[in-house]
Amino acid sequence: MMKGYLTIFLAMSLSIFTGFILFLTTCAIRNGEKIRFECASDTAMNAVLSEFHVNLFERYGLLYVDASYLGENPGIEEVEKRIFYYMEKNTSSVMRKKNAPWGQLAVTHVEIPFFSTAAADEGASMRHQAVLWVQDSGIVKKESDVTDYRTQINDLNEEDPFGAWQGIMEQIAGMELPRILNEEGEWEEVPLSNPADWVYCLLESDAFYLGEVDMQQISPVGIDLNQYITHRQIENITASNRIYQKEEKQFFAYLFEKMGYYGNPKEGSLLCCQIEYLAEGKDSDLENMKAVTDRLLRWRFADNVSLALSDGNLREQAAAAAKDLQAVILKNEFEIPVAESILYACAFLESIADLRTIYAGGSIPLRKIDHQMEVDKVLAGIMYHSDGIEGFSYGEYLAGMLLLLEDEILQLRAMDIMEMDIRLQNGNAGFCMDWCIESFEAQISVEGSGGGIYQIRRRYGYF
């Protein structure tokens, strides 16, 4: 009888223990599935980040995943497909192999509800990486120091010496010339013969010609601005809640290290004058160089006019030259405006000399202390070169022009250049900086072998 009780007790105990063991086994399998799911998710998202755009990294030192994957139509669906692919390779594909652990996983859904691109906050993400690249590389550029001259550059840019000179010349043109009685007994006007006139006529000349710009260093290619991020409908500018580094000096160092300009082009670039594009944003090297040259000439003219008007000795020379004119002798009202026009002519000749010196590789101070202006050069019709030993180089003047831009405009134009250069390379026709992903958040769902649904939400990125 006792043996019967023991048999029943052992049978019942065995069934309970068996159920408990099966329960533990089921829990272990599910926990194993969850762990494998998390590992597979982390692996998949890291694998996607490992597929950064190699050309962009090698050319510009930036880490981004190109959502076009060398196609022509970028979209977040392509990234979701890559995550799905890596998930399957690390779940379903592995579980079907021999000696695979218990517990099957089937990927059911992958969604990326949020992602951040290079265009985040109008290019602040790109600028952040550029600043970090400079910090890591230790690059130092003299153009960065131009940021210390912001006030002087703003003041210089607001001056209008051409308008002031034009006003003086119009005043002279509006004055009635003196008359004398000629040999035939008729009254005739005495010509003014203002020595500043021939210099004033140079205003109609092309600044390229005046500055002796080497046209062979300028690319003839034209670009369709509507293809690039500044002008097309920009996408994906939403920024994540983080602080971007925007250090101006380091960003300028990055731009002048990675991009070319007149006299210093970068190999493999669509435009030779890339920094000029940043400054002016026009559709060709030629147009950008024209705009830069015109502005550079105006800056130098504004500074030289200030010097000329404040130089007492030069003013005396101009007054003496004006007084020698027969029309001025007969009509003293001409003396002051003619003398002023001669001073402006001296300043313009000096400005042309400065321009030639800068384009020849020399340096001219932003605000001069000394000058080579002489009234005799105006009287004799002499063109000359300035001494260019110290001061701002051409690159530094370009940096000064970049200082006048709003951060967002400069950042977007920099990304225009990046798109131009990357699209030159095979298989990158659809490359867009606003589809270059820096970080993303993924929501992944899988179904376990027991019918359980597991979900996970992860956020990964380079920064």
Q: State whether 68 and 143 are in the same domain.
A: no
If asked whether residues 63 and 193 sit together in one domain, one would say no
Of 143-152, 179-188, 213-222, highest mean pLDDT: 143-152
86, 205: one domain: no
| C-alpha to C-alpha distance for 142 and 260, rounded to whole angstroms | 15
- Note the pLDDT of residue 394: 97
Whether residue 161 is found in the same domain as residue 232: yes
Q: Which residue has the tokens 């840019």?
A: 157
Average pLDDT of every residue of the chain: 89
351 and 219 share one domain: yes
Overall average pLDDT of the 304-312 stretch: 96
446 and 411: one domain?
no
Residue 128 lies in a domain: no
Do both 208 and 281 map to the same domain? yes
- Tell whether 306 is covered by a domain: yes
Q: 37 pLDDT band (50/70/90 cuts)?
A: confident
Task: Give yes or no: residues 111 and 253 share one domain.
Answer: no
CA distance 400 to 275: 11
Q: Which residue has the higher pLDDT, 122 or 451?
A: 122
Instruction: Answer yes or no: is pLDDT of 98 > 70.
Output: no
Residues 198 and 273 in one domain: yes
- If pLDDT is split at 50, 70 and 90, which confidence band does 297 have? very high
Q: Tens of pLDDT along 234-277?
A: 988 888 778 899 999 999 999 999 999 999 999 989 999 999 99
Report residue 450: phi and psi, to 5°.
-95, 10
Q: Is 129 within a domain?
A: no
Find the angle CA(304)-CA(406)-CA(152) to the nearest 5 degrees: 25
Q: 69 and 148: one domain? A: no
pLDDT digits (tens, 9 = 90+) for 380-400: 999 988 877 789 999 999 999
Instruction: Collapse the DSSP code of 223 into the 3-class scheme (helix H, G, I; strand E, B; otherwise coil) and give the result.
Output: coil
Domain assignment present for 132 = no
Check residues 289 and 29 and name the one with the higher pLDDT: 289
Range list of β-strands (E), 61-206: 65-66, 105-117, 179-181, 187-189
Does residue 26 form part of some domain?
Answer: yes
335 within a domain of the structure (yes/no) = yes
What is the pTM assigned to this prediction?
0.88
Sequence-distant (6+) residues with CB within 8 A of 162 are: 203, 298, 301
Residue 207 belongs to domain spanning: 139-423
Q: How many domains does the chain have?
A: 2
Provide the angle, in degrees to the nearest 10, between the axes of the packed helices 407-423 and 120-137.
Answer: 80
| 126-158 burial: b if 16+ Cβ within 10 Å, else e | bbbbbbbbbeeeeeebebbebbebeeebeebbe
| Domain match, 83 and 205 both | no
Same domain, 233 and 292: yes
